[in-house]
Amino acid sequence: MLLHNFLEFFSREYPDQLFAEYNGQSLTYGEADAWANRFANSLLASGLVKGDRFAWLSKNNLEICLMFFAASKVGIIPVPLNYRLAPMEWAYIVNDAETLTLFCGNEYTDGIDSVKSESPSVKHWIVLGGEKKPEGWQALSEWLANDPAKPMASVCEADQCYQMYTSGTTGLPKGAMISQGNVSNNIQMAHLAGSITPRKERNLIVAPVFHAAAALSMMAMVASGSTLVIHQEFSPAQVVRSLDEESITMTTMVPAMIQACLVAVPDIANKEFKDLRLISYGASPIAQETLQRAMAVFGCGFAQGFGMTELTCVATNMTPAVHERAASGEPGLLLSAGRPQMGTEVKIADEDDKELPRGQVGQILVRGPQTMMGYWRLTEATASALKGGWMHTGDAGYMDEEGFIYIQDRIKDMIVSGAENIYPAEVERAIFEHPAVADTAVVGIPDDQWGETVLAFIALKPKHTLDLESLQTFCRERMAGYKIPSKLQIIDAIPRNASGKSLKTKLRQPYWEGKKRQVS
């Protein structure tokens, strides 16, 4: 199955079915497929051929969602750009991918203009939306061909579908090449995990679709002939309003978004959310208290997915049934990332990739049909990541007797203090339980006596205070003494990337400058 097959099927069989709503606009499946054909024909007319790449840089809108399906029709590869990056970072990805055409939201053209000279591969600069057309740019309406006929092209499941760059928390971003087969498998698994009803769902898209989870959620909805309700960007008040008033049945959010909705919308407990039946979440840890409150407030099912860009999106699922089991007397299950999804193998391995017994912590390795083709033009990195046919996730965790996966932390983030291993995520989970804490990130910093010591960065809830002694007293009942933070820094907000992951490299950097240890 190919990505565009889903759009074409529902366009043919149900052309008047509502495809999407966005900013007062609406589009049927018939109209969406015709637009995708026009876009695909325009790519070909501008000189791109199967295997070439184009990039887009924009907040969520109808066009960038449809670009995935349009490009699939002709085997041309989209490269989504994270709009939160700096211009030189955009230029690095554009150059690395050798993109020939760049589609850009009007608000980002100035930034791109500042690095145009750094992007020699780009031949076509196309601006999306907005009233002004900057010098040197062509409007999408001018570039788009008026040819809605289905293009003739040969595409198969082994062909690349898109190229999504890693968030670069361990160095320069790498281009994960995702195949048509990878996408098709993850869509099927999403349908099973979410019990998606064809042509009946209304899925709220709030996370940026340059992110793997948001993109897959969007694609899975189209593959069911359901309706996308697209928000340009995340706003807690607007999300809560849509969930309450717009007959939304499903949405996907990162934990920081769920937390923001609970904290920033004072009357959220008074909302009914009568049509909402599922919230999917993942990409970063969520505090058990936050999840339990969310389950009570939204009154719907919850599903968690664990994965990464290199795994298309998801490798393990914690289904709504497991969440219900947790609510019925097994709250510890909420700390789990679920069990391997159908057709996926997961093992916990030591440094030599040998499988460890249940309950022992090691690296989480994944093997399955969602595993990427490899990293774009990085042969050694690909061989290392896919050694032995297993995706080496870089996450430390363990598997219990029932097969549930418990993620401890990123291996690179582990703190070694006095020869003891400390996983920051474990400390963060405890700190999140403190009533004054809105957000937290824990890192290791140099210590002359112990090698490293634990520093907790904390963002407080409004009208709350917290000092180190109070935090340590709170933690003492919840963890071993050597794991308790010895340092505390109160900050306005924890810096996070688009995936919701805290930017620990940025937080650690000032403390490790001039030290022999490399901060990864």
Tell whether the model's pLDDT for residue 408 goes beyond 90. no
Mean per-residue pLDDT for 440-468? 92
Angle of the 255-264 helix axis to the 288-298 helix axis, nearest 10: 60
Q: CA–CA separation, 50 vs 33, rounded Å?
A: 19
* Residue 483 scores a pLDDT above 80: yes
Q: Kindly report which listed range (95-109, 400-414, 484-498) carries the lowest average pLDDT score.
A: 400-414
Between residues 225 and 415, which one has the greater pLDDT? 225
3: pLDDT strictly greater than 80: yes
Residue 452: closest CA among 426, 413, 480: 413
Q: What is the predicted pLDDT for the residue at 413?
A: 85
Best CA proximity match to 385, nearest among 498, 309, 439: 309
pTM: 0.85
pLDDT score recorded for residue 518? 38
Asked whether residue 42 carries a pLDDT value surpassing 90, the answer given is yes
Six-digit token string for 361? 């912590």
pLDDT at 45 over 60: yes
Confidence (pLDDT) at 516: 47
* Alpha carbon 439 to its chain's center: 19
State how far the Cα of 178 lies from the Cα of 182, in Å rounded to an integer.
Answer: 6
Question: What average pLDDT does the structure give for the chain?
Answer: 93
From CA 201, how far away is CA 249, in angstroms rounded?
A: 6
Do residues 63 and 52 make contact, with C-beta atoms less than 8 angstroms apart?
no
Cβ 227 vs Cβ 221: under 8 Å: yes
Q: Which of 50-64, 152-166, 416-430 is the least confident region?
A: 416-430
**What is the predicted pLDDT for the residue at 101?**
98
Supply the pLDDT for residue 293: 94
Residues 6+ positions from 209 with CB-CB distance below 8 Å: 60, 64, 65, 80, 215, 218
Segment (H or E) for 35: helix 29-45
Q: For residue 319, give the nearest of 176, 194, 474 by alpha carbon.
A: 194
pLDDT tens sequence across 188-215: 999 988 889 999 999 999 999 999 999 9
Residues 220-235, mean pLDDT to the nearest whole number: 98
| Average pLDDT rounded to a whole number, residues 395-401 | 94
Q: Is residue 366 a contact partner of residue 389, using CB atoms and an 8 Å limit?
A: no
More confident residue, 448 or 382: 382
Q: Measured between alpha carbons, how far is 504 from 378 in angstroms, rounded to an integer? A: 25
pLDDT of residue 174: 94
DSSP label at residue 301 = E
Residue carrying structure tokens 């934990």: 255
Q: Are strands 138-139 and 124-128 parallel, antiparallel or unpaired?
A: parallel
Write out the two tokens for 419.
């020869």
Residue at token pair 């290791």: 444
pLDDT, tens digit (0-9, with 9 covering 90-100), for 340-367: 999 999 999 999 999 999 999 999 999 9
Residue 396 · residue 361 · CB < 8 Å: yes
| pLDDT in the model for residue 287 | 76
**Helix boundaries (H) for 176-278:** 180-194, 212-222, 236-245, 255-264
The sign of the torsion formed by the CA atoms of 258, 264, 269, 272 equals negative
* Domains in the chain, CATH or no CATH each: 3-184 (3.40.50.12780), 234-410 (3.40.50.12780), 414-512 (3.30.300.30)
Instruction: Give the percent of the chain with pLDDT over 70.
Output: 97
Q: For the purposes of burial, counting CB atoms within 10 Å of the CB of 478, is it exposed (0-12), middle (13-18) or buried (19 or more)?
A: middle
Q: What residue has token string 């805290």? A: 502
Q: Is the pLDDT of residue 409 over 80?
A: no
Nearest CA-CA partner of 112 in 93, 139, 96: 93
pLDDT for residue 168 = 56
* HSE value, Cβ hemisphere, 13 Å, CA-based, for 222: 35
> What number of other Cβ atoms are within 10 A of residue 482's Cβ?
16
**Residue 506: pLDDT over 60:** yes
Q: Which residues pair with 28 in a beta bridge?
A: 18
Lowest mean pLDDT among 52-66, 219-233, 268-282, 473-487: 473-487
Q: What is the pLDDT of residue 520?
A: 32
